[in-house]
Structure 1
Amino acid sequence: MPKGGGTPPTIISNHVGWADILVHMALYFPSFVAKSGLRGVPLVGAICESMQCLFVERGRKQGATEGIADSLKQRMLLAASGQSPDARPVLIFAEGTTTNGDYLLDFRSGAFLAGTPVQPVILRYQRGRLSHAWETIGPVRHIFLTLCQPLSSVTAFELPVYVPSEAEKKDPKLYASNVRLHMNKSAKLQLSSSTLKDKKDYQALLTSQHSHTNHQHLKKAA
């Protein structure tokens, strides 16, 4: 635990959609790493800016990736040291992308480079007419439809703080893998090795099929 107790410097959570940020704000008001595209999303972008997020580019070069990882590591070490009372815990969606809430993807090791304790959290959304996973609907439309729902329910399961062993401190990949298994033992989600590229390929396929269907309907109407 950090000096003086309280929330560890790093919060590790599964990732379903934009509402995750609001849930974690209510719980911890953390800072977090976000993809640069979120800057332009209404409401979400403003929240990211106000929380001094570290924005990253998809498909960035190796040097930029290493720079972000180093900055993230230093931030976590500072929070763990207790030397900066204003340092917020860092929220990291270690999967690197979102899922539909039923799966837990492989964790990236960047969240575990500092070798400091982490606070695992699992978010589970109640099923409704609209899924909180927003990948196949535009962000503005998804936010609007979510706000139109009379009720949205989410439960945050805060697991015991995970304190790494000496072996895990020396091996971020081992640390990441063990925390993932620790979280899944409680959450009982389905483990998956799918990647961001897999998801993009699937989305492209859905978009292609949708466009083809619309084209066929237009031909019939003509």
Structure 2
Amino acid sequence: MMNLIRHEIKIDESFYKVEEVRQLTNETFSLKLPKARFAFKAGQHISLGIHGDYQSREYSIYSGADDENLEVLVKEVQNGYFTPKLRKLKVGDLVEIHGPFGKFGMEPKDAETGKFVFIASGTGIAPFRSMVRTYPEIDYTLIHGVRHSEEAYDRNEYATDRYILCSSRDKKGTYHGRLTGYLKGCTFSPETHFYLCGNSDMIFDALEILKDKGFERDQIHCEVYF
């Protein structure tokens, strides 16, 4: 009599099924994944890959630490290799996640007592949404620089008096122009801590502006996207 051997296929714990693809603009979307096994601190990032593909990319976590889902914010790069593949993902597809990584964030005690200014360009807003959702009582102002006002991702989640939209290609934002232009005209409390996330040109320019305003380097925290 032949003995039948049952082979059990196990999915590695680093693989997660896509639960939702949420379209935000023609180019930008978020991927919602299960969070049951994944613990992180607001501000951290992950390495994200597609099951069966050899490449991966790093993305800041877009969801709050206590949210039901793990979420990342993605902007498709025209003629890129990786983001067009992410764009084609469907509910039920497998992605591979490693992490979390990074120290771009704050301790819960600091979030309760500190004063913060978040400065983001484009999808660099991702870690700040995570921070605001994780610490609902945080004292913050968010300055978000985009080309078009439609790129104000999930704008309705932020208090209107705390969210400053700087749009360089249209006049529908709070300020028409680059966020660095808005930043130059701002006055901040001496105890403010600044968190910067986005492209390197914006971050380098913002660092010089804040330095000229008298802020010390240890008050400024940076996460460079590219």
TM over 0.5: no
Task: Kindly indicate which of the two structures has a greater share of residues assigned to helix.
Answer: 1
Task: Kindly indicate which of the two structures has a greater share of residues assigned to strand.
Answer: 2
TM-score between the two structures when normalised by the length of structure 1: 0.31
